Structure 1
């Protein structure tokens, strides 16, 4: 997609975003909640099982194990820029399940509905960011070091 005249970022923004450390740092930041969550679940597997059971996912041990694999594996795919599409896709699908199970604002009322409503759309934004990370990964130039 070509940028239209007048839609480019200011030079100082382009200069900042072109720094070698920005893209890797943003990939880590994007998946940080998943990576930390996956490691925490792995270290406290009984609690991870209880969490899945709490949200009605059965068998809870299977769902906990899947969450750990997707959270850690998908995060590493995004951070290392290897199979970004499958890593981000897995994280996105996990997030869809979380949105529907844990943020079911349509079944709640009062303050609980308010909190779940906000969280639902925050998760939707995170899915959009994962899609954008995949799209930007495809947009990298073929020459030079495209791993940044």
Structure 2
């Protein structure tokens, strides 16, 4: 396994882990999504979880990676705008949301850098 393949596997594993973790936090996440005006928050959450786990797994195993990465990049843009709207907050809450925004931007960058591998 070369370095690019290791990066692809790690990137996919991040999404599988995040999706599975979101199942464990589902009630909290659904409540937050509802508070932020996300339509059908439970359906949105489980759709996101399925996307993260299935697309992440595809990336790990090198199957349909370009499509999986494209879907996850779009998902990340939407999730980032909904979840990490730091521009509407102040103080520690702003800092926490900005950190999440930056982390998701880094994931999008990793996707763009590895989409051809």
User: What is the TM-score with the length of structure 2 in the denominator?
Assistant: 0.81
Q: 2-side partners of 1:62 and 1:83: how far apart?
A: 25
Which stretches of structure 1, 4 residues or longer, exceed 6 Å deviation after superposition? none
Q: How does 1:68-147 map to 2 (within 5 A)?
A: 68-135=49-116, 137=117
Point out where structure 1 has 5 or more consecutive residues left out of the alignment. Answer: 1-19, 138-148
Tell me the C-alpha RMSD between the 2 structures: 2.2
The Cα shift of 1:118 comes to: 2.6
CA shift digits 1:87-141 (9 cap, x unpaired): 1111111211121011111101112212222321221111010111112x2xxxx
User: 1:113/1:41 Cα in 2 relative to 1: closer, same or farther (>3 Å)?
Assistant: closer
**Higher RCO by CA contacts (8 Å cutoff, separation 6 or greater):** 2
Larger radius of gyration: 1
